[in-house]
Chain A
Amino acid sequence: MKLTLRVWRQQNAEAPGAMVTYEVDGISRDMSFLEMLDTLNEELILGGDEPVAFDHDCREGICGACSLVINGDAHGPERTTTCQLHMRSFQDGDTIDVEPWRASAFPVVKDLVVDRSAFDRIIQSGGYISAPTGTAPDAHATPVPKPDADFAFEHAECIGCGACVAACPNGSAMLFTSAKVNHLNVLPQGAPERETRVLDMVATMDEEGFGGCTLTGECATACPKGIPLPSIAAMNKEWLRATRKVRR
């Protein structure tokens, strides 16, 4: 395959960026999208140019590092992570736009690399259960009904990639935040911190500059792990419940 790539190049956080056009040839349909970028980068290095910087690591769809907007879609045309997207999803001769996540809470570091540390700070503000090592009772001391365990797991699958934020017209982090709130709040182990967790995480989310939620639903459509849109409604319910309880 022969392709025309228009790639966002930006030297660093302060420098202005621009789309730069590259031609790549000899691309195999079996290549992953990132292997196609590897090929471009090998050529750029040999030509003495700086390779295109992008985040990636496990390349099996679980670490959440890869984060490209491809032709306007977070992670591209398939519902998967960028690393699991293959070139057979494109046609010979295509022009493909490659951009970083676009959100004010995710500033560009360089080229296609963005700073997602705001997600870490949301987790730090309450996305855990306080259980210092050594304090745990036997694992079978508290049975968890299977539907609750499955609900927790479904939300715990979030890989923290940020596609939800990138896809949202408001740059909202509601799907990410709700996934963690719902994972922990449904479990009996998470009950003691149920109210503070949701209140603190939502407050941090707002402080970090993420936008508000208008239930557009783009987030759940872009999520490679299928975190469902009702996750947001469930968190709103938790938040409302916590607000009332804390006031009382």
Chain B
Amino acid sequence: MSDYTNYRTGEPVVDSKAPEGPVADRWDTRRFQAKLVNPANRRKHTVIVVGTGLAGGSAGATLAEQGYHVVQFCFQDSPRRAHSVAAQGGINAAKNYRNDGDSVHRLFYDTVKGGDFRARESNVHRLAEISVEIIDQCVAQGVPFAREYGGLLDNRSFGGVQVSRTFYARGQTGQQLLLGAYQALSRQIAAGNVELHARTEMLDLIVVDGRARGIVARDLVTGRIDTYFADAVVLASGGYGNVFYLSTNAMNSNATAVWRAHRRGAYFANPCFTQIHPTCIPRTGDHQSKLTLMSESLRNDGRIWVPKAKGDQRPAGEIPEDERDYYLERIYPAFGNLVPRDIASRAAKNVCDEGRGVGPGGQGVYLDFAEAIQRMGRAAVEEKYGNLFDMYAQITAENPYETPMRIYPAVHYTMGGLWVDYDLQTTVPGLFAIGEANFSDHGANRLGASALMQGLADGYFVLPSTINDYLARHPHSEEIDDRHPAVAEAVAETEDRLHLLLAVDGDRTPDSFHREIGALMWEFCGMARTEEGLREALHRIPRIREEFWRRVKVPGTGEQLNQALEKANRVVDYLELAELMCLDALHRAESCGGHFREESQTPDGEAARRDEEFSYVAAWEFGATGDAPVLHKEDLVFEYVHPTQRSYA
């Protein structure tokens, strides 16, 4: 086996589709340059869409409205259950309905800066432009956004920005936006324009003569492996946060679609950029299966603290004021409890690592509202945070009005993903990636209320404008069928892998391996990363992989609903993706956004970005399992927003 860390740097990768000229004109320019498909010819084109979340649902509906024949897949029993449904906070748009100085340019500026200067200016500006159209579209669909008494839409400020540009539907914005897309998709299903395959999971990409031409998928109920062919394939399969086992992702969210595409030639960009959210409900024990997010608005009034003494086991109420350490207020007096997500998360980890964490396993810190209740009165706190307090009480059986909440950081979002050009096309012609599955718009850190914006921008507006260009340039796909060697090979590989998983018949469950790789990633590729730790992880991962193929146990057969087999097959891909994430984190010897390298700090302990060496996108080309990949760099150029080092001290 070759040394995985001994990677080679290949040719730079260039985004050939992004037009030149003023940033505000580029999207118009690109749409004008793009070739169109005659409306009468669109029905002759089939487009596969994998996933039905905000990006996939909106893309499938819109492509079908335009006249394409769409074949769409989701592993859930209904497209309405994709995990976008769980987003709480809201969706940003530069509507400036508050007349508070917001503009497309300000949203663009905030997003580039928030991404710690690791996103493309062209893409982010387009996102900010489209944000306003998204709100119009969703209102027309009947999305019940919060309104004021005059009947107009309400806005709030979110994620520390100074304008109110976030539209919301109580704490269920993701659900309402997703149902809007789901309903638009349902209309197209009824019209016969979308052929939907629910409970069907993509297991491989079919590439013929260098172009994406279809997928291999398994019917999760019958176990049948089928092939589906198309003129283009769109992956909208979400992020890969579940590589950490515990995350705020849904249980079945997985990386298989993007990883299989990566293995077939699509470059994977910035895999180490993961977002860890500071305010989640801590785990209660080894049985924990997932983590639940609490809105970070709680930090506006709650005070975060731990005991000053290590191993202090007293209940919170018995710890006197002078024996408490309000560590964020102490370390960051100017911002206090409102420091950005990554800083708050790391500080919590540090105090827990010192042995001062609270709750089961010492993996938690207090978020205390006693002072707020005293200052504002209980009624005012209840009015502002009542639903969050109820949710906390439901999960923990503790009353946060009386005892402080316990919180701990959790993996929430992955900024990395498949590399795409300005058209959202990957390095495999005909393969597109949208939403969280691509890497394009958030740089090294995503701002609050921007994930929903990006998913819907990609699906409703960007992809439907850019995929035309590809289809118009490839009007007549050569007919293929299962006998084509590339198809037969993809099917055989998929079947072999499933057969092997069933045949090992070892003594460990698929979940036990998922927990093991998750714990390893959390320790070495989580909130703070070191060269030593990452090298240790890279040393261990191949061993876990080897053990997996020797000891995994999957009962039952492949010709039936077999959730253990589904899980095992997803773990196979986590065990490879984890290695690439660690390598990317190792090679990026700077701290930026969600990626904190302990070796790269300022004298006062803040993240030190190193623009001279790392102002690029790291796009990785797959070699073979366990073999070193090839690094392709895409240089980032900042013409409008000039990189500065942030400071919150």
A residues in contact (CB < 8 Å) with B: 11-12, 28, 30-32, 34-35, 38-39, 41-42, 44-46, 48-51, 53, 55-60, 62-65, 80, 84, 86, 88, 109-110, 113, 115-117, 119-120, 123-125, 127-140, 142-146, 149, 152-153, 156-157, 159-160, 183-184, 187, 189-190
Contacts and interface: CB of A to CB of B under 8 A. Distances in A.
B153 A12 contact: no
B285 interface: yes
Interface stretch (B178-186, B529-537, B596-604, B621-629): B178-186
Contact of A46 (B170, B293, B509): B509
Nearest to B397: A88
A28 B284 contact: yes
Given A48-B555, A50-B556, A146 B148 contact: yes
A103 to B, nearest CB: 15
A189 B180 CA distance: 13
A117 B78 contact: yes
B382 interface: no
A149 B144 contact: yes
Contacts of B190: 124-125
B180 to A, nearest CB: 9
The 5 tightest CB contacts between A and B, nearest first, are: A143-B151, A128-B183, A136-B140, A131-B140, A30-B284
A90 to B, nearest CB: 13
Interface string B156-196: 00000000000001101001100100111011011000000
A153 to B, nearest CB: 4
Given A30-B285, A42-B509, A140 B153 contact: yes
Contacts of A132: 62, 65
Contact of B221 (A86, A109, A116): A109
B153 A65 contact: no
Given A50-B555, A110-B560, A139-B135, A127 B141 contact: no
Interface in B43-100: 58, 61-62, 65, 76-81, 83, 85-86, 95, 97
Interface in B527-584: 553-556, 560-564
A51 B186 contact: no
Interface in B119-147: 133, 135-142, 144-147
A127 B186 contact: yes
Contacts of A116: 77-78
A39 B138 CA distance: 42
Contacts of B644: none
B395 interface: yes
A149 B460 CA distance: 24
B329 interface: no
B250 A58 contact: yes
A115 B183 CA distance: 19
B198 interface: yes
Nearest to A38: B289
B159 to A, nearest CB: 21
27 contacts: A12-B560, A28-B284, A42-B509, A45-B555, A50-B556, A51-B564, A53-B561, A60-B292, A65-B76, A84-B395, A86-B397, A109-B221, A110-B561, A116-B78, A120-B80, A123-B186, A124-B187, A127-B183, A129-B142, A129-B183, A131-B141, A131-B184, A133-B184, A139-B138, A140-B97, A149-B145, A189-B140
Contact of B78 (A32, A58, A119): A119
B288 interface: yes
B63 to A, nearest CB: 10
A157 B560 CA distance: 34
Contact of B136 (A128, A138, A146): A138
B86 A153 contact: no
Contacts of B76: 57, 63, 65
A124 B189 contact: yes
A80 B170 CA distance: 18
Interface string B103-118: 0000000000000000
B251 interface: yes
B563 A53 contact: yes
A152 B141 contact: no
B401 interface: no
A91 B292 CA distance: 25
A143 B152 contact: yes
Contacts of B289: 32, 34-35, 38, 59
Interface residues of B, number: 81
Contact of B142 (A113, A119, A190): A190
B522 interface: no
Contacts of B510: 45
Contacts of B83: 57-58, 63
Interface string B290-308: 1011000000000000000
B139 A139 contact: yes
B142 A189 contact: yes
Contact of A160 (B78, B176, B287, B464): B78
A45 B564 contact: yes
Contacts of B511: 38, 42
A139 B95 contact: yes
Contact of B141 (A34, A64, A129, A137): A129
B169 A153 contact: yes
Contact of A62 (B78, B85, B141, B144): B85
B327 to A, nearest CB: 27
A2 B397 CA distance: 20
Contacts of B461: 133-134
Contacts of B61: 133
B149 interface: yes
Contacts of A57: 76, 81, 83, 250-252
A241 to B, nearest CB: 19
Contacts of B150: 143
Nearest to A138: B136
Contacts of A53: 561, 563
B394 interface: yes
B183 A63 contact: no
B481 interface: no
Contacts of B172: 62, 157
B507 interface: yes
B81 A64 contact: yes
Interface string B435-459: 0000000000000000000000000
A46 B189 CA distance: 42
A58 B86 contact: yes
Interface string B342-357: 0000000000000000
A28 B396 CA distance: 12
A238 B142 CA distance: 18
Given A58-B85, A109-B221, A124-B190, A133 B58 contact: yes
A191 B554 CA distance: 53
Given A34-B289, A139-B135, A183 B81 contact: no
Contact of A128 (B144, B151, B187, B554): B187
A139 B136 contact: yes
Nearest to B142: A129
Contacts of B182: 123
A142 B140 CA distance: 9
Contacts of B85: 58, 62-63, 159
Interface in B481-506: none
Nearest to A142: B139
A45 B97 CA distance: 56
Nearest to B143: A156
